[in-house]
């Protein structure tokens, strides 16, 4: 039986690198995969999953209107899909996570979803919350705070590196906008 996996972590933990390695492993064995990434993520080339260490692969961009199950089912009918890999899974809707579960349960296609668990205020993203509820396997990818403890939080900072406590849940950025911290240092940074 295929499973729905949710690999989650703070920023800069290597989620995209892990996804690209998993994709490579399937393709190296001659198996077809489908890659998806959030259309909203415009840090690199559109429709591309790119890791900070320089690895990249083309991917189908998704937004809130994308029917992932329909796209995978159509491709699967032509060429059997061995695995579906989703980057930036925190941006999935509840319905899209349900579609990913359907792919695993009905089409027997494993789905590996990678994303943030929480936003810069320590709140769950909708896609992450649904994945935490439905995924067969929850796998935390570890990152490290500057103090050496496990980083679990994402601190948003301004151009001068000062913590930001208010704003929209989604603001795309990398090391210039976010710092991965342990809970203690995250709380201290916001307390000022």
76 is in an annotated binding site: no
Pairing of strands 111-116, 4-9: parallel
16 is in an annotated binding site: yes
Extended beta strands in the chain, E state: 4-9, 32-38, 48-50, 56-58, 60-62, 81-86, 111-116, 137-140, 153-157, 163-164, 178-181
Q: How far apart are CA 164 and CA 166, in angstroms?
A: 6
83 is in an annotated binding site: no
Q: How far apart are CA 31 and CA 26, in angstroms?
A: 5
147 is in an annotated binding site: yes
180 is in an annotated binding site: no
Q: How far apart are CA 162 and CA 13, in angstroms?
A: 22
89 is in an annotated binding site: yes
Positions marked active-site: 88
119 is in an annotated binding site: no
Distances (CA, A) of 32 to 27, 77, 79: 6, 12, 7
Q: How far apart are CA 107 and CA 71, in angstroms?
A: 13
171 is in an annotated binding site: no
15 is in an annotated binding site: yes
Angle value at C-alpha 38, between 167 and 153, nearest 5 degrees: 45
87 is in an annotated binding site: yes
182 is in an annotated binding site: yes
Q: Which residues are annotated as a binding site for ATP?
A: 9-16, 87-90
Q: Which residues are annotated as a binding site for Zn(2+)?
A: 145, 147, 182, 185
Q: Which residues are annotated as a binding site for substrate?
A: 178
Q: Which residues are annotated as a binding site?
A: 9-16, 87-90, 145, 147, 178, 182, 185
């Amino acid at each position: 039986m295929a499973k729905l996996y949710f690999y989650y972590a703070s920023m800069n933990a290597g989620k995209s690198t892990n996804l690209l390695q998993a994709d490579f492993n399937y393709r190296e064995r001659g198996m077809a995969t489908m890659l998806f990434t959030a259309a909203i993520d415009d840090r690199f080339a559109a429709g591309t999953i790119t890791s900070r260490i320089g690895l990249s692969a083309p991917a189908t961009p998704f937004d809130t209107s994308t029917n992932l199950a329909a796209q995978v089912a159509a491709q699967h009918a032509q060429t059997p899909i061995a695995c579906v890999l989703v980057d930036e899974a925190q941006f999935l809707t509840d319905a899209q996570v349900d579609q990913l579960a359907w792919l695993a349960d009905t089409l027997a296609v494993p789905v590996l979803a990678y994303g943030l668990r929480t936003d810069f205020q320590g709140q769950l993203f909708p896609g992450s919350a649904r994945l935490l509820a439905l995924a067969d396997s929850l796998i935390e990818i570890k990152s490290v705070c500057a103090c050496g403890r496990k980083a679990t939080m994402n601190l948003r900072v301004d151009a001068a590196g000062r913590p930001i406590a208010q704003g929209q849940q989604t603001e795309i950025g990398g090391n210039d906008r976010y710092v991965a911290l342990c809970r203690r240092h995250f709380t201290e940074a916001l307390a000022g």
